[in-house]
Structure 1
Amino acid sequence: MKTDTQLRDDIQAELNWAPDVKTSDIGVIVKDGVVTLTGHLASHAEKYAVERAVQRVHGVKALAIELTVKLPFDNQRTDADIAMAAERALQWNVLVPDDKIRPMVEKGWLTLNGEVEWEYQRSAAEVAVRDLMGVTGVSNLVKVKPKVSPADVEKKIHEALARQAAREANRLAITVDGSQVTLRGTVHSWTERDAVQGAAWATPGVSVVVNDLLVDA
């Protein structure tokens, strides 16, 4: 098991290596495998890149984000400009259904509302607007309300896990309550945790996934 000092060094090396992380002014605090990130970034896109980079590092048990976005003067946009750009980005994304998602902007913070049938559509909407200039943060409040009956949801999730994350399939507890799925158990990495969650979200009939999986690094 890595010491906190080793884990911090690995995180800083990963941040320096990641091409989409442009600043080195990020504070990394590690205690018992729990990582806290502090500092100021120039865009929401870079903040997201930092979060993903840290999650790639083996040994990270939990992540606390205390990063703030402070836009350079040249990158600042009015809320109206951001809202218009977000609407166009959603319209041009082939994975986002037409007229289902409504963007709202307040002081650079972009909120998405609406309903879709699939989680991939909800995720695609966030990806479409996340990197827009002027955005300081994104709240994805889009709800997933599938038309498919959830009767065989648990069976389909197990089948998906057998295909996608076979090593973890027998170590997990999957609870289905209507269209809500709760995942419990232990996985070996954040990558495997994401894979199990992705398998659950990809199952027809699922509208909510509660991910209580623990990472045993």
Structure 2
Amino acid sequence: MKTNEELQRDVQNAIKWEPQLHAAEIGVTAKDGIVTLMGTVDAYYKKIEAENAAKNVDGVKAVVEEIEVRYSNDSSDEDIANSALKALIYNLAVPHESIQMKVEKGWITLEGQVTWNYQKEAAEKSIRHIKDIKGVTNHIRIKAEIQNEIDKKNIKKALASNWTLHSENIFVRVEGQKVILTGAVSSLYQKNLAEKIVWKTPGIWSVDNQLVVEHKYAISE
């Protein structure tokens, strides 16, 4: 069992060991599995790196993100849009012709429709390192070309094949092209991993991840 202080230290160390981050920029508090990140960074991708580092720490149930991006304001929205469009075009995993974009005060919103979740994720990752962006909202929809009946047994096998998951505690329900996950896992990392595994199944349009993170915490004196 971890105390709040131990969880706070573990998250601080995880951020410290990220090569693109300076731990001094980011403050961490922890209470009963809820971790709050505070401070400022000079690039949007650093904000995402800090969040991902915290999520991967065992015992983290949720992350409250209060990191502010302070950027130079050298780039106009038009500059950002041009750079983002080029980034989408150069990434062969992204069907850029199916994606629309809006840029407002440094914030990029992605819309459109793709056939696989990895394409949606690739589109967002492509633009995270663009200079002076303040954030990204990804509204890209998934509509798979394959509409065969989704086999729940195959999803269960895929979850069971990953040794880091206790798949016996994960329950799968299929409603048309939607997969619903319920049950319990021991970390936020496992919750996100289970969803990523499910997304690899052909024919899925959406995943409703209702997994609960269960982790015991020692009471601090």
Q: TM-score, normalised by structure 2?
A: 0.91
Question: Are the equivalent residues in 1 in contact too, given 2:58–2:186 (CA < 8 A)?
Answer: no
Task: Provide the residue aligned with 1:7 in structure 2.
Answer: 7
Task: Provide the residue aligned with 1:71 in structure 2.
Answer: 71
> Which has the bigger relative contact order, CA under 8 A and spacing at least 6?
2
Task: Provide the residue aligned with 2:219 in structure 1.
Answer: none
Name the SS of the counterpart of 2:153 in structure 1.
helix
Q: In the TM superposition, what is the alpha-carbon distance from 1:150 to its structure 2 partner?
A: 4.3
CA deviation string 1:12-50 (max 9, x = no partner): 122222111135122212111211112222111000000
Structure 1 vs Structure 2 CA RMSD: 1.7
Distance across 2 between alignment mates of 1:109 and 1:62:
24
Q: Do the aligned partners of residues 138 and 180 (structure 1) sit closer, same or farther apart at CA in structure 2, a change above 3 Å counting?
A: same
Q: How does 1:122-137 map to 2 (within 5 A)?
A: 122-137=120-135
State the 4+ residue runs in structure 1 displaced beyond 4 angstroms. Answer: none
Q: In the TM superposition, what is the alpha-carbon distance from 1:111 to its structure 2 partner?
A: 0.7
What code does the residue aligned with 2:43 have?
S
Unaligned runs of 5+ in 2: 216-221
What code does the residue aligned with 2:202 have?
P
Name the SS of the counterpart of 1:57 in structure 2.
coil
Question: Are the equivalent residues in 1 in contact too, given 2:59–2:186 (CA < 8 A)?
Answer: no
Q: Do the aligned partners of residues 177 and 133 (structure 1) sit closer, same or farther apart at CA in structure 2, a change above 3 Å counting?
A: same
Alignment counterpart, residue 189 of structure 2, candidates 184, 188, 191 = 191
Q: TM-score, normalised by structure 1?
A: 0.92
Task: Provide the residue aligned with 1:141 in structure 2.
Answer: 139
Q: How does 1:1-217 map to 2 (within 5 A)?
A: 1-22=1-22, 24-73=24-73, 76-164=74-162, 167-217=165-215
Name the SS of the counterpart of 1:24 in structure 2.
helix
May I ask how many residue pairs the two structures share in their alignment?
215
Q: In the TM superposition, what is the alpha-carbon distance from 1:194 to its structure 2 partner?
A: 2.3
Name the SS of the counterpart of 2:37 in structure 1.
strand
